[in-house]
Amino acid sequence: MGFEVAPAFEAGSLAAAEWPLCHVRLQDDARFPWLILIPCVEGAVELEDLSVEQRTMLMEETVRAGALVRRLGAVEKLNVGAIGNVTAQLHVHVVGRRRDDSLWPDPVWGRGPVVPYTDDERARRLAIVAGG
């Protein structure tokens, strides 16, 4: 069968890049600069489902995603989480936060009305991720 991205990701995010380990998606919510890393490992649900080498690579790609999130918007703090309560497929959220954002200091997951990017902003941010 091979690796496939869970269909739930299609609803609120866009494919942005393919890295050595992860499929990278841009969360389509202009309130927060936000990337999702999905390790391309069939059946991976937990970190323990990755090899030691894959876990090391995931950490490096998470740091890389953090640097890109900082380029996508004003960021004071990076929130990194592998929650998986809604979608079990292993994935890591890298979200840029600011003390003046609409949800500070609460979590962003499933909160408030989503504000999709305009077509121009979406294209600009996808280009940043694709180039990074």
Which pLDDT score, from 0 to 100, does residue 85 have?
A: 87
Would residue 1 count as lying in a domain? no
pLDDT in tens, 81-96: 999 888 999 999 999 9
Would residue 3 count as lying in a domain? no
**Counted domains in the chain:** 1
The domain that holds 100 is classified in CATH as 3.30.428.10
Residue 92 phi, psi (nearest 5) = -125, 125
Domain that holds residue 90: 8-131
Which pLDDT score, from 0 to 100, does residue 15 have?
A: 98
Would residue 55 count as lying in a domain? yes
Would residue 99 count as lying in a domain? yes
Tokens matching residue 15: 């494919």
Residue 42 exposure: Cα atoms within 13 Å on the Cβ side: 3
Would residue 2 count as lying in a domain? no
Low-confidence ranges of the chain (pLDDT < 70): 1
pTM of the shown model:
0.96
Would residue 65 count as lying in a domain? yes
Which pLDDT score, from 0 to 100, does residue 86 have?
A: 87
Q: How far apart are CA 6 and CA 15, in angstroms?
A: 12
Which pLDDT score, from 0 to 100, does residue 1 have?
A: 59
Would residue 58 count as lying in a domain? yes
How would DSSP label each residue in 59-73?
Answer: HHHHHHHHHHHHHHS
Which pLDDT score, from 0 to 100, does residue 109 have?
A: 86
Which pLDDT score, from 0 to 100, does residue 130 have?
A: 97
- Which residue in 94, 92, 97 sits closest to 31, CA to CA? 97
